[in-house]
Structure 1
Amino acid sequence: METRIEHVEQFTVKGYEMNGPVTEIPKLWDKLNGIICEKGATPEESFGITLGMENGNFHYLAGIHSELAEGFMDTKELLIPSGKFIVAKVEGGVEAIPAAFDALMRNPDVTLRHSYGFELYIHPIGSEGYETEVWVAIE
């Protein structure tokens, strides 16, 4: 798996959250994508952020950059702090996301930093489909 190191300035993600089984996550994305279409927003990136896991339940946020989500109702905003991340492209679809996160977190060449890790979905306007990357905070 090829990786790269990125440094980002803080940014805010705005979207919808759930706390439940992983099988509920696609419904959350359907909700977000429906609102994006309804409001005519044009994000080229979206974020999947696991806020916590306990007893098989995921606390998860699906969102976009906050400035693109003006007028979205009943949302949660989450600040992603500045810092370095190790990044890898996910090969094999959403089913491969957990393995990609695991590989990055076990990388012996980096020290993990306490912060949010996230899935980044890249979907430029006019493109078909999307690419997925995983981002893990590092020192």
Structure 2
Amino acid sequence: METRIEHVEHFTVKGYEMNGSVSEIPKLWDKLNGIIKENGAKPEDSFGVTLGMENGNFHYLAGIDAQLAEGFTDAKELTIPEGKFIVAKVEGGVEAIPAAFDALLRNPGVKLRHSYGFERYIHPIGSDGYETEVWVAIE
């Protein structure tokens, strides 16, 4: 798996969260995508942020850049702190996301930093599909 290191300024994601089974995540994305369409937002990327995992429950937020999410009601804002991340493109669709995260977390060449890990879905306006990347905070 090819990786790259990115340094990002802090940015804010606005969207919807859930705390439950991983099987509930697609419904959360359906909700977000419906609200994006209703509000006429035009994001070129979206984010799935892991807020925590405990006892089989997954705390997760699906969102877009907060500046593009005006009019989103009952949405939560979350700031991703500035810092370095190791990034990898996910090959094989959403089913391959856990394996991609696992590979980055076990990469012996980096020291992990306490922060959010997230998926970034890149879908430029006018494109038919999207690319998926996983981002893990590092020192």
Query: Which residue number in structure 1 is paired with residue 71 of structure 2?
Result: 71
The offset of 1:50, in angstroms, is 1.0
Aligned residue for 2:91, secondary structure, equals coil
| 2:13 matches 1:43 | no
Structure 1 unaligned segments of length 5 or more: list them: none
Aligned residue for 1:133, secondary structure, equals strand
**Aligned pairs, number:** 139
Aligned residue for 2:108, secondary structure, equals coil
Using structure 1 for the length normalisation, give the TM-score: 0.99
Task: Tell me the distance in 1 between the aligned counterparts of 2:26 and 2:77.
Answer: 20
How large is the RMSD of aligned CA atoms in angstroms? 0.4
Query: Which residue number in structure 2 is paired with residue 33 of structure 1?
Result: 33
Aligned residue for 2:6, secondary structure, equals strand
The offset of 1:49, in angstroms, is 0.6
CA offset digits 1:96-128 (Å, max 9, x no partner) = 000000000111110000000100000000001
Task: Tell me the distance in 2 between the aligned counterparts of 1:98 and 1:71.
Answer: 32
CA offset digits 1:49-101 (Å, max 9, x no partner) = 11011111111000000000011000110010000000000000001000000
CA offset digits 1:9-31 (Å, max 9, x no partner) = 00000000001100000000000
Task: Tell me the distance in 1 between the aligned counterparts of 2:16 and 2:133.
Answer: 20
Aligned residue for 1:71, secondary structure, equals coil
Using structure 2 for the length normalisation, give the TM-score: 0.99
Query: Which residue number in structure 2 is paired with residue 17 of structure 1?
Result: 17
Report % sequence identity.
Answer: 86
Task: Tell me the distance in 2 between the aligned counterparts of 1:115 and 1:20.
Answer: 21
* Structure 1 residue identity aligned to 2:134: V
Runs of 4+, deviation exceeding 6 Å: none
Task: Tell me the distance in 1 between the aligned counterparts of 2:114 and 2:50.
Answer: 13
* Structure 1 residue identity aligned to 2:35: I
The offset of 1:5, in angstroms, is 0.3
Structure 2 unaligned segments of length 5 or more: list them: none
Query: Which residue number in structure 1 is paired with residue 58 of structure 2?
Result: 58
